[in-house]
Structure 1
Amino acid sequence: MITILWTSANDDGLTAEATKRIASGIEAAGETTTSFYLNQLHLHHCMACNGGWGLCKSEGRCIIEDDFEKVYDAVLASDAVVFVTAVYWHDLTECFKAFFDRFRRCETAHNKQMRGRECLLVACAGGTGYGAVRCLENLEHSVDHMGMIPVDRLPVIQFNKAYMLPALEQAGKAFAERVAASR
């Protein structure tokens, strides 16, 4: 199973279409997907408990009671992960940051279950597209910190969407085939 985490304020825009295309490619390769649209979930930002390292450090879990745990559990149970984000100010969406800060803390401080897990990174910029590459760099730095392995980084911008959206289906298929071959 491949888990897809995606986020955008616009649930039917470029990021949503990119997510659909990747999922279609993954499923065409015979893999199942579980998708979480983070903007529809109840996710709080990290409170930096206990000097910045609360239960995330000692037990690998977060004390905040919201939808984080169900998403985190699904990610841990998956064979691989696809991260798809809209680009805001050259970076991940605020919603993605709220999830990712807590995810990273649980993983790097205690659990380390994502170490060696492969992922696909996608950044979708609706405007000029200038921030897409920087957003991917920031996302890659975060997954590297957890020991995850990004197999591709895909910027989707207004200029390239006509050819990148179909390419995302192929990227999803290739990623799924790679995941299946590694079992």
Structure 2
Amino acid sequence: MAILVLWASPNKDGLTAAAKDRIVAGIAGAGGEAKVLHLNGMRVDRCLACGNGWGRCKAEGRCVLPDDFGQIYDELRAADGIVWVTPVYWHDLAESLKSLLDRLRRCETAHNHGLRGKECLLVACAGGSGRGAVSCLSRLEETLGHMDMTAVDRLPVIQFNRGYMLPALESAGKAFASRIRERTQNV
């Protein structure tokens, strides 16, 4: 059982990193294997909408851009479950995650469907007032839904709740790993 934890934040020591660490600890605590990808340490260019809006993504299910997208896509398809962890910027996802999802959606919905049925855990980490965390999670879930992925939980982490949410994320990681293990053993 492999769970991919994909996180996006330029701050390796901030709230988003702490949330990712607690999720990973929970997955490990349940005997699961977490593979962590840090989007900000990778190169994922924005979609060029080539080929009159639909390039090889529609025809072949792959992108022509020579960056890390293909590797990430392979990791997503190979994973038994996926955890998405993002900071919240102006009520929305991190830009690096939006770039990935834009390209992923084109390959998935037009051709491949390799992520259909994948279960996901969604985490949005907001500084300041935290008002944008819930709308960020909603946008992420809607985008993943276009690719027929399923959010099993949505966890907003804000400055007010960080004291009790960070430990709760470890419990969420354990519960998610147990759910994925059960699902993969019954297949």
TM range (shorter): over 0.9
Aligned to 2:84, the other structure's residue is in SS state strand
Aligned to 1:50, the other structure's residue is in SS state coil
Aligned to 1:52, the other structure's residue is in SS state coil
Cα distance in 2 for partners of 1:121, 1:57 equals: 27
- Deviation, 1:43, is 1.2
Aligned to 1:99: 100
Aligned to 1:49, the other structure's residue is in SS state coil
| Structure 1 vs Structure 2 CA RMSD | 0.6
Cα distance in 2 for partners of 1:104, 1:24 equals: 29
- Deviation, 1:51, is 1.8
Matched, 1:138 2:169: no
Aligned to 1:143, the other structure's residue is in SS state helix
- Deviation, 1:8, is 1.0
Deviations 1:84-111 (A, max 9, x none): 0000010001111111111111111111
Deviations 1:88-144 (A, max 9, x none): 010001111111111111111111011111000000001110100000000000011
Aligned to 1:88, the other structure's residue is in SS state coil
Partner amino acid for 1:139? L
Deviations 1:23-66 (A, max 9, x none): 11011111111111100111100000112211111111000000
Identity %: 58
Aligned to 1:165: 166
TM score, norm. by length of structure 1: 0.99
Cα distance in 1 for partners of 2:147, 2:53 equals: 17
Superposition map of 1:34-53 within 5 A: 34-53=35-54
Aligned to 1:64: 65
Partner amino acid for 2:169? L
Partner amino acid for 2:138? E
Cα distance in 1 for partners of 2:29, 2:61 equals: 35
Partner amino acid for 1:101? D
Matched, 1:149 2:150: yes
- Return structure 1 stretches of 4+ with deviation > 4 angstroms: none
Aligned to 2:32, the other structure's residue is in SS state coil
Cα distance in 1 for partners of 2:91, 2:10 equals: 15
Cα distance in 2 for partners of 1:34, 1:52 equals: 33
Matched, 1:8 2:35: no
Aligned to 1:54: 55
Aligned length: 183
- Deviation, 1:155, is 0.2
Aligned to 2:111, the other structure's residue is in SS state helix
- Deviation, 1:167, is 0.1
Aligned to 1:125: 126
Structure 1: state its 5+ residue gaps.
none
Partner amino acid for 1:58? A
- Deviation, 1:161, is 0.3
Cα distance in 2 for partners of 1:59, 1:2 equals: 26
Aligned to 1:171, the other structure's residue is in SS state helix
- Deviation, 1:4, is 0.7
Cα distance in 1 for partners of 2:52, 2:85 equals: 31
Structure 2: state its 5+ residue gaps.
none
